[in-house]
Chain A
């Protein structure tokens, strides 16, 4: 049986751990709120852009569509962009994303495709490096970005677009986590090059008039598609960010509760031990007195 002092030390240590997890939970909750706000604020742009793209793709259908929309005509080299967080302590958040990415990669490899991986976020790279070290073509570190903003998305977007222009891949997909609620983040695999025109977006009612395009449809589409792709990346990053804080919040909530249970159990054993010691001492004294 450990001594009373050991018990006291353990209780104190669990208590300080609990304080830390509690603090982390509250920080995550505050940051989650901000991340959700950012995701919300980014929505009007994404929605407008989606509407415009839907509109334009209908107009440019057929020949003359830019490569970003029509594809390279091949389907051999796939780029998988895996977005994870920079930090841990968030339960199964990153593992879920990596699992979705692994399934996708395995599926592509079974079909005989060449797979390239672009990692965004340190945690995903660490997990994927073990399995697919040779396939990782690049790694983008977002640790220096304290908040996710358009410049972070541009960094990734520029990288992917320059790779596409150089003909390094035919099809790109992003793997990220869709934020549904604090306790539920859904890993999502989404194709984004060739661009998928958004579905279910109604073209605006023009009241019978026709659009004037300046300079022309193709030029506008050319200018717009990179923006659209960056917008999608930004949205994925923001969803990921919100999901990460949600996952961290619930993980830390669990940890805090676990620590509470542990403290209760340890305190019980501590008291039991203390009483046993007192009883033992009493018996010693009484039997000593009786012997006299």
Chain B
């Protein structure tokens, strides 16, 4: 049996994924990179985009909103500030949310609210792009 890569995806609130997989493709800020078992130690920042988990011929796509990847001999850890399983959202849902966020942005009165709405719009736009 081929070697497996131990992969953990954690957000500040909880551990989202933990397990052995064949390969993980991470959207790094400097470009997408794939991590296979026995990868050399690497630290990289992650931009908002789709992270792909490949295992046994199946592919799982998870949207991460920026973060950080750490490859050690023990495996790969991705620290994401926010992650969504792309199989669990629909394009319509994202577009509805995006519309609402854009309205919030237009309505925002003070700077703090504006910044929050802007962050939501950026996130949803990236999510929409990742959903494809």
Contact = CB atoms under 8 A, between A and B. Distances in A.
A215 B79 contact: no
Interface in B28-64: 28-30, 33, 40-45
Given A205-B73, A207-B73, A38 B13 contact: yes
A42 B79 CA distance: 12
B14 interface: yes
A225 B12 CA distance: 14
B68 A223 contact: yes
B17 to A, nearest CB: 11
Nearest to B11: A45
B105 interface: no
A49 B79 contact: yes
B10 interface: yes
Interface residues of A, number: 34
Chain B contact-residue range equals 20 to 34
A209 B39 CA distance: 10
Given A48-B77, A204-B72, A204-B74, A42 B42 contact: no
Given A48-B79, A223-B68, A227-B68, A41 B15 contact: yes
Given A48-B79, A150-B81, A207-B73, A214 B12 contact: no
Interface string A90-115: 00000000000000000000000000
Contact of B12 (A52, A153, A158): A153
A166 to B, nearest CB: 13
A46 B15 CA distance: 11
Interface in A19-52: 38, 41-42, 44-46, 48-49, 52
A206 B10 contact: no
11 contacts: A45-B10, A45-B11, A205-B74, A209-B40, A211-B41, A212-B41, A214-B29, A220-B45, A227-B79, A231-B12, A234-B13
